[in-house]
Structure 1
Amino acid sequence: MIVLGIETSCDETAAAVVDDTRRIRSNPVLSQLDEHRPFGGVVPEIAARSHLDHLDSLILRALDEADVGFGDLDGVAATGGPGLIGGVFVGVMMAKAIAAARDLPFVAVNHLEAHALTARLTDGIEFPYLLLLVSGGHCQLVAVNGVGDYTRYGGTVDDAVGEAFDKTAKLLDLGYPGGPAVERVARDGDPLRFALPRPMLGRPGCDFSFSGLKTAVRQARQGLDSFAAQDAADLAASFQQAVAEVLADRCRHALDRFQQEHGKAGPLVVAGGVAANRTLRATLSEVVGGHDAALLAPPLPLCTDNAAMIAWTGVERLRLGLSDPLDFAPRPRWPLEDLRVPSPVSPA
């Protein structure tokens, strides 16, 4: 089974060809960072127009690199949400057009499910497993029981962790995108210099909160008489350490609950753009070590938005007989809990 995937949910235009042997035949991604950098963040209209300008040529490139044509495809999948609605609309309409013209099944992919299933593409792991999804717009802990079958353990009550990284980078004049900038500067910083709060640390449950931490970073900077490069490095390192400790604490609670429900303590999969952060990965490695569990994190190019994960989710759903009608409406919001659970229960 060979599936074309299309991803246009934010500021990356991407297309990929993946087959059911877990082979990524192609996965070109076109970044829009240079277009959005002057504004310090993603401008939805600019993102949608860029998708319109580049998606058709990127799809042809993906097919060419995979050495397949439209006639070789068994399905086409596109991000149907959640995301910036203008960009999602571009990708969905393109996928529908291809599906209609070639009489192919169309799969509207939940972007969060695609992140959740990436570890099955890269590592072939079996259900169930625990997922920490950390990105610019999402922060949640979820038990992945099967395709379309998710149990939410907790999520952020305010800001997503990726958003906190972006806002911290802006406060420290580090530029955009914030996550890589904070991590880069933090390497030369002292994580103990600033006593930043650890929101939710030690509390029951698996929820997150990062708004207060973001405010504390701003107050710490405002409290300095001057602001030099070392101050930025120390504050970035202190912020990053606080985030890592909070995520570690929440994951410990989730691993305990997962073990009670499933009789095993993992594995723990970390996915989403923030999963590329090396400090976070190192901290979570210690957490799973204490629970005798494994930590799985996709390769860095598959942590951020890409179309290979969209195509793979299409594979997972098509081989269960699941597809979507061509009147599917793109969704700016689409919780994992709203997905259809296949019947019978999906195989591992």
Structure 2
Amino acid sequence: MNSITKSLLKSIKHGQAAWLRSNSTHSRKQCLPKLVLGIETSCDDTGAAVVDDAGNILGEALHCQKEVHLKTGGIIPLVAQQLHRENIEQIVKEALSISGVSVNELAAIAATVKPGLALSLGVGLEYSLKLVNKYKKPFIPIHHMEAHALTIRLTNQVEFPFLVLLLSGGHCILAVAQGVSDFLLLGQSIDIAPGDMLDKVARRLSLSKHPECHSMAGGKAIEHLAQTGNRQQYKFRVPMQHYRNCHFSFSGLQNLVNKVIIQKEKEEGLQKGELLPCVKDIAAAAQHAVAVHIVKRTYRAMLFCIKHSILSPKNATLVVSGGVASNQYIRKALQILADVNGFAFLCPPPRLCTDNGVMIAWNGIERLRAGLGVLHCTDGIRYEANAPLGIDISKRVEEDSIKVPRLKMKI
């Protein structure tokens, strides 16, 4: 073999090795999981998490403001804003530290931009955009309610479409999730949300003074006391029974409960703010009325979706998410409804039902996969305190005027 041939073979071998190294590096890059940092500040919880495109939660952190707001009897937006400002940097750093991921390794940064408390949303958006601009990362603006709706796809194998009921302190929504960023709105609360109503009833009953509930949020205190209360002692009229739509209303129910509280205070000779002996029974009756109202509207939504072939009766699923979805009494009532109608019934685990960074990061992954709403330029991006979810077809539901059969609920 002459020197020219040897030189040529050597050159070919070097070229093959370089090609293999190059291809190996390219292959590794392709196999690397996509990572998204999610930041949540829509209300009173500061959350952050890193999630990959396989659904692994690599790191998360959460600062809850509950104790502060319990002392003031409700969320004060300026206080919530200040607490977000004080904690957001540390929470994000903690989530990243636990995950072992640097900002440079992220595929994108996602943050809640709507809906929620304006002052709270502003803190999260401002901090997120600082990171985006510093590290030159794509930004994914997140709709808070969409994130709640799609959290179930992180924890369970759920295919579109599915019926989703979102229950929280600020929202009550029935919708069909047809895809990422593709929702049909069937109904929503026309006044206050169920979580807000239960919190207000708890405040009116002064449950923060109750020895069993002093450290509990209002809705949690109602649920706790209701477990040993007799709901049969009081009958609260279920709202909107003559309206054949999927909208909700809780303010009228709250007024009915308040009237009973005032009447019992007079009978017992107690002043407002003093604990009634019958608080457990009132809590049980109020919680039951909320559950029945929610079940009836959801029942109509199920019937509407099956009638119009929006969902298949063979593999229909009801997903319930949001903070109030953690209420076990309401959850059991909805489980009964799902069983009667042949729907699969799914809820995220309780810690993912309340506001958190994980759901924001996961929604970011979903949008990244679908190529929806991934921004490489953030000029003009704003937060929105109020924002609808999907296409509103609630009038079509009302026009159908579907009568809901009577349902026996033994809980």
TM-score by length of 2: 0.80
Deviations along 1:146-165, whole A, 9 cap, x unmatched? 11111111111211111111
**2: distance between equivalents of 1:114 and 1:54?**
22
The aligned residue for residue 23 of structure 1 is: 56
The aligned residue for residue 335 of structure 1 is: 388
**1: distance between equivalents of 2:391 and 2:95?**
31
Equivalent positions of 1:37-76 (< 5 A) are: 37-76=70-109
Query: Residue 144 of structure 1 aligns to a residue in which SS?
Result: strand
TM superposition shift of 1:71: 1.7
Query: Residue 45 of structure 1 aligns to a residue in which SS?
Result: helix
**2: distance between equivalents of 1:321 and 1:209?**
37
TM superposition shift of 1:118: 0.6
Go from structure 1 to structure 2 and tell me whether the alpha carbon gap of 1:320 and 1:263 turns closer, same or farther (over 3 Å shift): closer
Q: How many aligned positions are there?
A: 339
**2: distance between equivalents of 1:205 and 1:301?**
31
Deviations along 1:5-57, whole A, 9 cap, x unmatched? 00011110110011110111122111011221221011111111111111111
Specify the code of the residue in structure 1 equivalent to 2:389. Answer: L
**2: distance between equivalents of 1:308 and 1:338?**
26
Go from structure 1 to structure 2 and tell me whether the alpha carbon gap of 1:264 and 1:169 turns closer, same or farther (over 3 Å shift): same
The aligned residue for residue 125 of structure 1 is: 158
The aligned residue for residue 184 of structure 1 is: 224
CA contact (8 A) 2:191 2:251 kept: yes
The aligned residue for residue 366 of structure 2 is: 316
**1: distance between equivalents of 2:119 and 2:311?**
43
2:196 aligns with one of 163, 169, 177: 163
The 10-residue stretch of structure 1 (317-326 or 265-274) with the greater mean CA deviation from structure 2: 317-326
Determine what percentage of the aligned residue pairs are the same residue.
38
2:351 aligns with one of 277, 301, 307: 301
Specify the code of the residue in structure 2 equivalent to 1:326. Answer: T
Q: Please, what is the CA RMSD of the aligned residues? A: 1.5
Equivalent positions of 1:217-228 (< 5 A) are: 217-224=257-264, 225-226=267-268
Query: Residue 41 of structure 1 aligns to a residue in which SS?
Result: coil
2:255 aligns with one of 183, 207, 215: 215
1:248 aligns with one of 292, 295, 298: 295
1:205 aligns with one of 214, 222, 245: 245
The aligned residue for residue 193 of structure 1 is: 233
The aligned residue for residue 136 of structure 1 is: 169
Residue 235 (structure 1) aligned with residue 282 (structure 2): yes
CA contact (8 A) 1:41 1:177 kept: no
TM superposition shift of 1:93: 1.3
The 10-residue stretch of structure 1 (21-30 or 104-113) with the greater mean CA deviation from structure 2: 21-30
CA contact (8 A) 1:155 1:208 kept: yes
Equivalent positions of 1:89-108 (< 5 A) are: 89-108=122-141
**2: distance between equivalents of 1:122 and 1:208?**
28
CA contact (8 A) 1:25 1:66 kept: yes
The 10-residue stretch of structure 1 (90-99 or 260-269) with the greater mean CA deviation from structure 2: 260-269
**1: distance between equivalents of 2:262 and 2:123?**
42
1:274 aligns with one of 300, 324, 330: 324
Query: Residue 47 of structure 2 aligns to a residue in which SS?
Result: strand
Go from structure 1 to structure 2 and tell me whether the alpha carbon gap of 1:243 and 1:29 turns closer, same or farther (over 3 Å shift): same
Query: Residue 88 of structure 2 aligns to a residue in which SS?
Result: helix
**2: distance between equivalents of 1:186 and 1:12?**
26
Please, which runs of 5 or more residues in structure 2 have no aligned partner? 1-33, 209-215, 393-411
TM superposition shift of 1:263: 4.2
The 10-residue stretch of structure 1 (306-315 or 319-328) with the greater mean CA deviation from structure 2: 319-328
TM superposition shift of 1:292: 0.6
TM superposition shift of 1:337: 2.5
**2: distance between equivalents of 1:58 and 1:215?**
39
